[in-house]
C-alpha cells in the first residue's frame, strides 16, 4: 500500500515538473479546459481499472470448514449451532424461531445455553467468539 502511494506521488510530482517545464501558462492558453478534464478523467479511469485488476487477481478465499473438535468440546448441539448461525446473520429470536420451526421460548433457551457454553453475555460476543473458534463462517 505504501509502495503504491509513493509510486502515485512520484508520478504526480513528475507530471507537475513536466507541466512547469513546458510552461504551463502557455499550454493552458493553447488548449481548452475540457481537454485537461478529459485527460485527468482518463488517468483516473486507467488507475481504477488497474486497482480493480490488482484486487480481483487475489486468490479465492478458502471454503469454510467447521471446527468439529471445538463443537464437541463445547458440547454444542446441532440445533444450537443452527441458532448461532442465525444469530450471526442478525436475526431476532422470532425470526430464528420461525426459520427453524421452533417456539421463541426454545430459541431463548438455546441462546442462554450458547451464552453459558461460550462464556459470554451478549449476542455480539457470542458471534465474535464463535467466529474466532471457527464454529460459524
- Using a CB cutoff of 8 Å and minimum separation of 24, what contacts does 76-85 make? 76/114, 76/117, 76/135, 79/110, 80/110, 80/113, 80/114, 80/117, 81/135, 81/136, 83/107, 83/110, 83/111, 83/114, 84/114, 84/126, 84/127, 84/130, 84/135, 84/136, 85/136
Can you tell me the mean pLDDT for 128-137? 91
Residue 64 confidence (pLDDT): 84
Position of cell 493553447? 30
Domain ranges of the chain: 2-56, 68-132
Measured CA to CA, the distance from residue 91 to residue 99 in angstroms comes to 10
pLDDT in tens, 96-107: 999 999 999 999
Contact call for residues 126 and 87 (beta carbons, < 8 A): yes
Residue 31 backbone class (left: φ over 0; alpha: ψ -120 to 50; beta: rest) = beta
Which one is predicted more confidently, 12 or 45?
45
For domain 68-132, give the CATH number.
1.10.10.10
Can you tell me the mean pLDDT for 82-110? 94
Read off the pLDDT band of 123 (50, 70, 90). very high
Can you tell me the mean pLDDT for 76-103? 93
Amino acid at each position: 500500500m505504501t509502495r503504491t502511494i509513493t509510486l502515485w506521488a512520484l508520478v504526480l510530482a513528475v507530471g507537475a515538473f513536466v507541466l512547469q517545464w513546458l510552461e504551463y501558462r502557455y499550454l493552458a492558453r493553447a488548449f481548452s479546459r475540457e481537454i485537461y478534464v478529459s485527460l485527468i478523467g482518463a488517468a483516473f479511469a486507467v488507475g481504477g481499472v488497474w486497482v480493480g485488476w490488482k484486487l480481483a487477481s487475489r486468490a479465492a478465499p478458502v471454503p469454510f470448514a467447521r471446527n468439529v473438535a471445538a463443537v464437541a468440546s463445547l458440547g454444542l448441539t446441532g440445533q444450537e449451532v443452527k441458532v448461532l448461525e442465525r444469530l450471526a446473520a442478525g436475526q431476532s429470536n422470532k425470526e430464528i424461531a420461525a426459520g427453524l420451526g421452533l417456539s421463541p421460548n426454545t430459541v431463548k433457551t438455546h441462546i442462554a445455553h450458547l451464552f453459558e457454553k461460550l462464556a459470554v453475555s451478549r449476542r455480539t460476543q457470542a458471534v465474535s467468539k464463535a467466529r474466532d473458534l471457527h464454529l460459524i463462517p
